[in-house]
Amino acid sequence: MIRTTIAASALLLALCASAYAADNAALKKCMDSANTTADMVNCNARQTKVQDERLNRAYKTALAAQEGARKQQLQDVQRLWIKYRDANCSFAGSATGGTIDQVNGSGCVLDMTQTRAQELEDLVGP
């Protein structure tokens, strides 16, 4: 019973992790050719680097568009968001105690970074 529950949880997390891959062609291509857990983690890491660069650009643009107290608020929010992302993905990356946790944890960082980059881009508009 416990093994079935753990296996089902791992499968669900893996499916959730692959849901964002469908929206990212480069990630999907990499994941389709990944044969090991390490390969999948490397796919996530490469795309996280791309999304982190996007996030940093969006943050700088959004910060430059703010004035007065709003600038400090955005800085505070971004610092808190980083702490939350790291804690949340650490939790997601320790759900089963198995190797799929590495994929889920790195996928969580990728997904949250990509989402936050979009939020920051939307803050200042096109």
Predicted confidence (pLDDT) per residue in 23-39, tens digit:
789 899 999 988 898 99
Please, are residues 89 and 105 in contact by the beta-carbon 8 Å criterion? yes
Burial class of residue 111, CB neighbours in 10 A (0-12, 13-18, 19+): buried
Task: Provide the pLDDT confidence category of residue 82 given band limits of 50, 70 and 90.
Answer: very high
Contacts of 43 (CB under 8 A, 6+ apart): 27, 30, 31, 34
In percent, the amount of the chain with pLDDT more than 70 equals: 82
Query: Architecture of 35-123 per CATH?
Result: Up-down Bundle (1.20)
Q: Please report the DSSP string for 72-103 in residue order.
A: HHHHHHHHHHHHHHHHHHHHHTTSSSSTHHHH
**Segments making up each domain of the chain, as ranges:** 35-123
Full-model pTM: 0.79
